[in-house]
Structure 1
Amino acid sequence: MPEYGKAGATVRIISLLVIIFFLIFGVGSLLFRLLGLPILENPVFNWMTRPFAISASPASSTSNGGDLLEQERLSQLQVHLEQREFEVKQREEQMHQLQEDLKAREDILIAQEQELQDRAEILSIRMQSFDNLDNNLLANAQYLNGMPPAQAVAILEKIEDDQILIDHLRAADRFAASKGQASLSSVWISMMNPARAGRIVSKMATP
């Protein structure tokens, strides 16, 4: 009986040592795998840690699936942001083009307004010139009416331009009419050179 008891104790000790051995190496191998450290390729280690690896696989798969969903969401968000950025850029370009068109139209309107002002000034100057010319013609007509006809004809014949001469004769008619007097223009024409007198009469008859 004592020998049998010793043998049983020895077996139990050996069994405990074996269990402890497997536990140590199994837990160590598992820690190495979890920490990502290299471990020895051993069928025993692989067999001992296989259940843990299998049980960890679904969690890893779930994690990878979540990462893929997150990447897909971020990718769609990136596409949406790029589309919005493109639309904003297009609107900015349209607004810039509209501003340029409005500026061009404004420049055209300013140029047209300036042109109208210039024309108005030119017309005003011409009107003043006409008024001055008319006043000068009336003053000359009054001066000519106050001198002898021969002297007046001598002055009129020095005017080389027929139109200016006609303007003086018509001014003399207007001056005489304003004074209720007979015009001397016909007398002056009759005393001029016949050729030029005929030409002046013909031009005065033409409207």
Structure 2
Amino acid sequence: MGRVLGRVFLLLLLIAILAGGGLVWFDYLNVIDAKTILAPVYRLIGLQPRSQTETGEEEFLSLDAERLAIRLEALELRNMEIEQKEEELVSRQDQIEQMAQDLEERQKALDERENSFNAMVEDADIRSRNVEQNARYLNGMPPERAVGIITNMNDQDAIDVLRKTEEIAQAEGSASIVSYWLSLMPPERAAELQRKMAGRPSLRD
């Protein structure tokens, strides 16, 4: 029984020593403030008690200034990011505007080509109607007079009239007078027109 009590006492003493040592160490590290408790112990063993370090007003101001500097630095970084994004947006907007301008110019070019094509088609239609009207008009007059008019035409107009006359005859199921007209023409003129008619596409092509 006595041995057990002795061991208990030794364990309690060891715990007290460890607790005291830990208390002194934590106080030294300023983790806890135990200077008031430890002051009598320091005096008992002849040591000068440690005084509590007080934070002065200047230190508080320094901490506030440091916090303010950190916030200002963060704001500066944020402003730099915003400025960079603004520059990227401006650059992107310039690219979009350039693309829109290019598309507008291409659209104008396409519109001009379409208008030019439509004008050509309209001119071709007008010419085709005029050629048909002339062919019908010549087909209704005496052959000798019609041949005189055709002979004085330029080659392309004469060829177009002759071909249109043949087309009208085929469509109406009647005999074409083109061969008779050619027989009434001077041989050189008739041969030249026939040669060119064989090599040139028709007006409708």
TM-score of the two chains, using structure 2 as the length reference: 0.64
1:170 aligns with 2:163: yes
Distance in 1 between the 2:99 and 2:91 partners?
A: 12
Unaligned ranges ≥5, structure 1: 1-57
Specify the SS of the correspondent of 2:93: helix
**Superposition map of 1:11-22 within 5 A:** none
The structure with more helix, counted as a fraction of residues: 1
**Superposition map of 1:7-156 within 5 A:** 62-156=56-150
AA aligned opposite 1:140: N
Deviations, residues 46-105 of structure 1 (Å, cap 9, x unaligned): xxxxxxxxxxxx76x733322322222222222111111011011111112222222222
Structure with bigger gyration radius: 1
1:158 aligns with 2:152: yes
- TM-fit CA distance, 1:114: 3.0
Partner of 1:194: 187
- TM-fit CA distance, 1:183: 1.3
AA aligned opposite 2:109: E
- Residues 147 and 184 of structure 2 are in contact (CA less than 8 Å); yes or no, is this contact kept in structure 1? yes
Distance in 2 between the 1:173 and 1:106 partners?
A: 53
Partner of 1:5: none
Distance in 1 between the 2:176 and 2:132 partners?
A: 13
Distance in 2 between the 1:150 and 1:141 partners?
A: 15
Equivalent pairs counted in the alignment come to: 148
AA aligned opposite 1:199: E
AA aligned opposite 1:147: M
In the TM superposition, structure 1's runs of 4+ consecutive aligned residues that sit over 6 Å from their partners are none
Distance in 2 between the 1:65 and 1:135 partners?
A: 103
Distance in 2 between the 1:89 and 1:193 partners?
A: 88
Distance in 2 between the 1:195 and 1:93 partners?
A: 79
AA aligned opposite 1:113: Q
TM-score of the two chains, using structure 1 as the length reference: 0.64
